[in-house]
A and B are shown apart, each in its own frame.
Chain A
Amino acid sequence: MSTAPVSLPRWADVVLLPALNVGLAFLASGLVVLAIGESPFEATALLLRGALGHAEGLGFTLYYTTNFIFTGLAVAVAFHAGLFNIGGEGQAMLGGIGAAIAALALGALPGIIALPMAILAAALFGAAWAAIPGWLQAKRGSHVVITTIMFNFIASALLVYLLVDVFRPTGMMEPSSRVFAAGGKLPFLHDIAASLGIKLPKSPLNLSFVLALVSALAVWVLIYRSRLGYAIRTVGANPTAARYAGISPERITILAMAISGALAGMMAVNEILGVQHRLLLAFTAGYGFVGIAVALMGRGHPLGIIFAALLFGVLYQGGTELAFDKPNISRDMIVVIQGLVILFAGALEFMLKPSLARLLARKGGA
């Protein structure tokens, strides 16, 4: 009875509100573009054409999308358990280390054997890296926001150490591992298409995209249809009710973090097994952090996350092309635009909600 209840019809909550937020972000971005003396319309057209207008650009867009789907799902799973996992970067790095170890060791075997092992290794390493903060949260009350951030630094240092002192072939200057043997490489989509007689332009898009879509489906089943997902959502919504129901919030906290870490770790499948074919520094490139915005924008729902990931994929690819065509609009400008999208769609997610609810309520009442 304290404050007016704010509730929106489902369609408004799921479609209208995110669309309005993205619209506002683009409006603000347009003003920034205008301020540096370029036409926002031309910039938008260039951005969209660069991202979606030709097969190569689309390939790049979907390649970025793959990363965002994985990290977005990772954040969402933890979020359903009431946990804020911002360690996606570190978990992806560990996933990369796991994938690389498996691919280096098993690369000589046929891909049909080596690749599933490498993917599994990526997921397991990511899961283990996230389970530690999960365990600390469950048993010691150390907040996952703090510990996952700190684990990002540890992961980063670990990656540097391994690359410089362990994986680097003697005589090589660059801190990276050797290139995997054929069995450790996921096929590119243009190669698959070529084997079927279809000619596609080269792009980094690879089989991981399919894996990402399958993961999204799996996460949907997990969260909304499985017993474990029920337990995860119960702990996230009401830990006392979970205890009442005989669900151990501690156990679920650790499990949810592990699943979240596994998904973040699988981002490395795309980057390491799919594109780079070797372990190298900084391959996570901030995708883990953008996953937070993707998950928020997608409302924690796998379908929403796929669309939000696509939006960020478009921004990444289109932004790169835009920076190429318009010297005035530098790469940093693109980061500003992405930042505005994150600000409006993520941080200010509920800014419009009360007024929108009031507006709809008035229309409905009249």
Chain B
Amino acid sequence: MTSPAIRLVGIEKRFGAVHANRSVDLVVEDGTIHGIIGENGAGKSTLMSILFGFYEADAGEIIVHGKPIRIRSSADAIAAGIGMVHQHFMLVETMTVAENVMLGAEGGVLTEGGLAKARAEIVRFGSEYGMQVDPDAIVGELSVGLQQRVEIIKALYRGAQILILDEPTGVLTPAEAEQLFRALAELRRQGRTILLITHKLKEIMAITDSVSVMRRGEMVAHRRTDETSPQELAELMVGRAVGLPTRTGGSVPSDILLDVRGLTVADPRGVVRVHDLSLTVRAGEILGVAGVSGNGQSELVESLSGMLPRRSGEVLLKGQPVPAEAHAGRMRALGLAHVPEDRHRMGLVTSFPAHESAILGHQGSSRYCKGVIIDRNAAIRDTADKMARFDVRPQDPLLKTANFSGGNQQKIVIAREFETEPDVLIIAQPTRGVDIGAIAFIHQKILELKAAGKAILLVSVELDEIFALSDRIAVMCGGRVMGVRRTEETDQNEIGLMMAGLEGATTGDAA
């Protein structure tokens, strides 16, 4: 047997008081696909960053193909044959594919030679691994799936024998993810080694040969994929048995609380993102909006919550028409709560202490204000109370928002929005970047609100989430609703086809 592609021995890394990696050992066999799974903040990304030279380990050994090496920068990692495909692509959007692939390996003062070589290689990779992409296309004009392909080609072009992929499917359609996995399987067949970091158990089961589980900075288990089960992995990740709550029966027909008619929304650049969209949500109902990200869901949510003006159409809240110029503060006053898709960009101010983030949007509420002065003590008390009830850890209202893990930040947002007794909730990507334990908790809370008779519009790119919670599912593609289905009358296959733009019956009869 050959020496393993990667052997990590006793990797230690601390950031101040945070022990991100504790004596981590890992063996990745040559020519395999090895999954690393763990909750957010378990230390997966830190470990991979050490492997790719962003951080240096405080202690421990890295052995690549039997040779102990020191990796102090990404250049060292590349020289050792390690390539990385980041979650957020590192591409220059205005350049062509070939220029991007060549970047950092131009091979001389003039770029012509390097470009020709890059072009040839791109074509070769395309035919060998089924990863075709036009070398002269502008990267910014490619779909997300193709951009990711460019990232992989970039790593291969630099001679990567070991490829690290960090949450690669988060931005892909099911079909694109399928293609990616076929390409990865082909790379494995040709003898390359792949490290796949993910929090999706399904992907681990579908493609990896073996899997390592991390929890709180430690490597808690190594398994051969065919000898384990999703249930076992989930328990190893969380450290206890987990059961995800699911939808509780069908909804009782009741009043329409949110009624959207012919909504058209343009983004700030003037591009129309939502075309003539209509939907309704009743009290005690969850309407799931499925779709590949970037198909107008964000603009729909921002328009309904008062962040983006609508171009035309009507919105009725509890039967009352909402004026087109109503801003987010007005919408809140009308009884609409909004859990935004991106807590860092919208839902929180990461530089604020938690108690200040926890009143965002309610800074004018009499609960937190004495006249023009904010009642800091009331905000702190209230935040501490919410943190206790939503199990936010650490339970410290004075801690800077940025210092909470993703799941706990999301709980702060959710607590804030759920606790205001809204009638209508717009919830976008409620569990993005949130660990399994917190997902179960958040889903439970959403279902409780439904039971309490709220109308909930749930936008998510996670089909599993949509199916687990929704009573009805609307599928968006290209800014339009392709169709609405009752959850029990459809399956992921049909919804997947509609997400790709293949119309089902567009009558929306289930509405």
Contact = CB atoms under 8 A, between A and B. Distances in A.
B348 A241 contact: yes
A233 B357 CA distance: 11
Given A221-B373, A238-B350, A248-B327, 10 more contacts: A1-B54, A5-B15, A240-B345, A241-B346, A241-B349, A244-B346, A246-B327, A246-B330, A247-B363, A364-B16
Given A1-B49, A233-B352, A246 B345 contact: no
Interface string A345-366: 0000000000000000100110
Given A1-B45, A233-B352, A245 B373 contact: no
Contacts of A247: 329, 363
A366 to B, nearest CB: 11
B94 to A, nearest CB: 21
Given A1-B54, A230-B374, A245 B49 contact: no
A227 B364 contact: yes
B340 interface: yes
A35 interface: no
Nearest to B19: A365
Size bin of chain B's contact surface: 35 or more
A365 B15 CA distance: 9
6 closest residue pairs by CB, A with B: A246-B329, A246-B328, A245-B361, A244-B346, A1-B45, A237-B349
A7 interface: yes
Contacts of A199: none
B356 interface: yes
Contact of B347 (A3, A226, A241, A365): A241
B361 A246 contact: yes
Nearest to A2: B54
Contacts of A246: 306, 327-332, 361, 364
Contacts of B360: 234, 241, 244-245
A205 interface: no
A361 B17 CA distance: 9
A3 B53 CA distance: 10
B224 interface: no
Interface string B24-47: 000000000000000000000110
Contact of A230 (B55, B58, B356): B356
A51 interface: no
Contacts of B348: 238, 241
Nearest to B364: A227
B228 interface: no
Contacts of A139: none
Nearest to A245: B361
B39 to A, nearest CB: 15
Nearest to A235: B349
Contacts of B14: 365
A234 B361 CA distance: 10
A228 B363 CA distance: 9
B117 interface: no
A231 interface: yes
Most B Cβ at <10 Å: residue of A1, A3, A4, A247: A1
A326 interface: no
Contact of A244 (B16, B340, B364): B340
B317 to A, nearest CB: 15
Interface string A222-265: 00011110110110011011011111100000000000000000
B440 interface: no
B156 to A, nearest CB: 22
B49 A240 contact: no
Given A3-B54, A227-B373, A230-B374, A244 B351 contact: no
Interface in A1-23: 1-5, 7
B329 A227 contact: no
Interface string A208-231: 000000000000010001111011
B360 to A, nearest CB: 5
Contacts of A225: 373-374, 376
Contacts of B374: 225-227, 230
Contacts, number: 89
Contacts of B109: none
A237 B327 CA distance: 20
A42 B307 CA distance: 62
Interface in A264-322: none
A237 B363 contact: no
Contacts of A238: 345-346, 348-350
Contacts of B307: 243-244
Interface string B336-355: 00101000011111111000
A230 B352 CA distance: 10
A246 B361 CA distance: 6
A248 to B, nearest CB: 7
Nearest to B18: A5
18 contacts: A1-B49, A4-B55, A225-B374, A227-B369, A227-B373, A230-B363, A234-B360, A237-B349, A238-B350, A240-B346, A244-B361, A246-B306, A246-B330, A246-B364, A247-B329, A247-B363, A365-B14, A365-B58
Interface string B373-409: 1101000000000000000000000000000000000
B280 to A, nearest CB: 25
Nearest to B44: A1
A227 B54 contact: no
Contacts of A226: 372-374
Contacts of B351: 237
Nearest to B348: A241
Contacts of B347: 241, 244
Given A5-B15, A246-B330, A234 B349 contact: yes
A244 B351 CA distance: 16
Contacts of A364: 16-17
Interface in B96-132: none
Nearest to B360: A245
A244 B328 contact: yes
Given A226-B373, A240-B345, A244-B346, A7 B328 contact: no
B339 to A, nearest CB: 10
Nearest to B14: A365
A228 B372 contact: yes
Contacts of B327: 243, 246, 248
Contacts of A243: 307, 327-328, 346
Interface string B237-256: 00000000000000000000
Most buried by A among B49, B305, B360, B369: B360
Nearest to B58: A365
B165 to A, nearest CB: 14
Contacts of B17: 364
A243 B14 CA distance: 37
A361 B14 CA distance: 9
A241 B17 CA distance: 29
A302 B360 CA distance: 24
Contact of B363 (A3, A227, A248): A227
Contact of A231 (B58, B363, B376): B363
Interface string B46-86: 10010000110010000000000000000000000000000
Nearest to B87: A1
A276 to B, nearest CB: 36
A5 B45 CA distance: 14
B486 to A, nearest CB: 32
Contacts of A233: 349, 352
B267 to A, nearest CB: 13
Contacts of B369: 227
A331 B360 CA distance: 51
Contacts of A230: 356, 363, 374
Nearest to B55: A4
Nearest to A361: B16
